[in-house]
Amino acid sequence: MKNLIVILAVLLTIESCKMEKKEQEVEVPEIPMKDFFKNPEKTGYSISPDGKYFAFMAPVDQRMNVFVQEVGSEEAKQLTSEKDRDIAGFFWKGNDRILYMKDEAGDENFALYGTNIDSGGVTAYTRFDNVKTQIIDALRDDKDNMIVGLNKVNPQIFDAYRLNLVTGDLVMIAENPGNISGWMTDHQGRLRIAMATDGVNTSILYRPNEEAEWKNVMTTNFKESFSPQFFDFNDSSVVYGTSNIGRDKSALIRFNLEEAKEVEELYKNDNYDISGASYSRKRKVLTSVYWTGEKVERSGFDPVINDIYKKVGDKLPGVEVYLTSGSDDESMYIVRTMSDKTRGNYYLYNVTSDDLSLITEISPWLNEEVMAKMEPITYKSRDGLTIHGYLTLPVGVEAKNLPVVVNPHGGPWARDVWGFNPEVQFLANRGYAVLQMNFRGSTSYGREFWEASFKQWGQAMQNDISDGVRYLVEKGIADQNRIAIYGGSYGGYATLAGVTYTPDLYACAIDYVGVSNLFTFMETIPPYWVQYREMLYEMVGHPEDDKEMLAKYSPSLHADQIKTPLLIAQGAQDPRVKQSESDQMVKALNDNNIDVQYLLKENEGHGFRNEENRFEFYQAMEEFLGKHIGNVNANSN
């Protein structure tokens, strides 16, 4: 018996080695670059309030437009015909009207448009020069009116207006005195809360009704925050919200506005900030709470929604499942699936019959069986912080001495998340390992981790990125001579800082709409960011008080330290990171005889949205990386 066990163990070991060898020797086809970055076949599904129709976006001549389709029908009707720019997003307003947002050439001055699903024709509701529209309350129960914010009077602030969708009339219902950064309504659509700021301190203003005077409920430094989410269903003086006051991690709480005090802590996570909550409009109950750990997570308060998630999850094993849209009577839901290897599918779920039917695959041309796994990792920074991140390794290749693309995220007060990322999958398909890290300042890890980033651009934040590179080198995963860095927005700054302050760490770099000069960046922020200028001074640095530091960590002022070839991409209409940021960097590199390729698009803003521009950028990226860090076929289309 003992000999039989030994023989079986040997056979199992041999079989395991065969399987491991077979997995490593998988031949992965080189997928055309355009397959990763072309517009999805159909996406953004949303069901009408009565559950009879769903709307979605699909490409027409390379631009994303809105379509509507009756549930049970195979025929879809095109509602919009935008040719210059993708529609940024849409939503139902009643059962027969679709509203959508669109800007011009990437200027982010989004305007509100609408169309009727039966009669067609497009109405521009808030199209004004150099004016941005915010949705304050779509007033779901009022089919003809809604509340919007417009910086029409003063470009730095948003007043609240009631918009009549039948007549097009705009009536100001709350004038911004100059310090209001946001407005909030109750369940009846009454403007009851205003968030005010002096640039550093934030106040919650409240009124019991629209005739009453505003009163200050609380004032906190911006480092402490209470973010109201929605009003209680039974007590109109109580709101649900997330708060980190007296805590490191934000928790979901109930807060009494009349008494100016926290009533109850409903949910907390010891490791991550709570990001938000949802509720049932029909049943008037709290349903779920959300946070982002290694993945987006939820915890349910409501047995009805919990049961739906369980039933749908059982039918769709192996993928993440999200209820993205529901009918008012909660009998029909749009279900979206997703994983790290696929953009996923859309389904229609009938709660009454427990029937789940496939609507569409989002990118059916991408075979998830040859996509790479995005693995959560952690490593220690040089000063002892735990840095969370994701490592994606090319399929079928031994994880040893690989060329690596380091990809710091934008924000910087944002974070990378687990899920399908076309850039990451494209790079992995070309044979590169991809490292994404949530350096200090990344959101969801608590206040202490966030504050550790203040005045650390190019310094400790950059060290967290460099420490991730060294982690891969020490593990033997990375070939230290074939490491690239690529990022957009703040990630573009981190890219430039990486090749400026650690010039021997990277073989090449790609800066996408990145900040190059900390002085000019803060001088050219959009007008509606001016309210937060003092906050930016505290988080990034003051142009006078911290002049030496900002000068030291502005890459364009130290281009003589760079020896790494660069590819720089910029949108000429970018309102956040102006074209001048890239222009001055390119000039400084040219003045110092550094190899730089500059891709400037006149019809783009903060990132390339038009499909043909994406293709050009990623083609340039492929050729650039292939030349500098990999034996890669750079001619795929």
The residues annotated with a catalytic role in the active site are 489, 574, 606
Closest-CA residue to 168 (of 231, 109, 214, 99): 99
Pairwise CA distance, residues 343 & 365, whole Å: 11
Closest-CA residue to 365 (of 36, 7, 25, 2): 36
Pairwise CA distance, residues 314 & 311, whole Å: 5
Give long-range contacts, CB 8 A cutoff, 24+ apart: 386-390: 387/437, 387/438, 387/439, 387/440, 387/464, 387/467, 387/468, 388/294, 388/437, 388/438, 388/442, 388/445, 389/416, 389/435, 389/436, 389/437, 389/438, 389/468, 390/416, 390/418, 390/435, 390/436
Structure tokens at 276: 């938000």
Q: Say which DSSP state 186 is in.
A: -
Q: Where are the alpha helices (DSSP H) in 316-459?
A: 422-429, 447-451
Structure tokens at 548: 């030496």
DSSP string, 495-558: HHHHHHHSTTT-SEEEEES----HHHHHHS--GGGGGGHHHHHHHT--TTTTHHHHHHT-GGGG
- Contact between 535 and 200 (Cβ < 8 Å): yes
- Contact between 66 and 75 (Cβ < 8 Å): no
Closest-CA residue to 347 (of 367, 329, 333): 333
Structure tokens at 104: 């011009």
For 91, half-sphere exposure in the C-beta direction (CA atoms, 13 angstrom radius) is 13
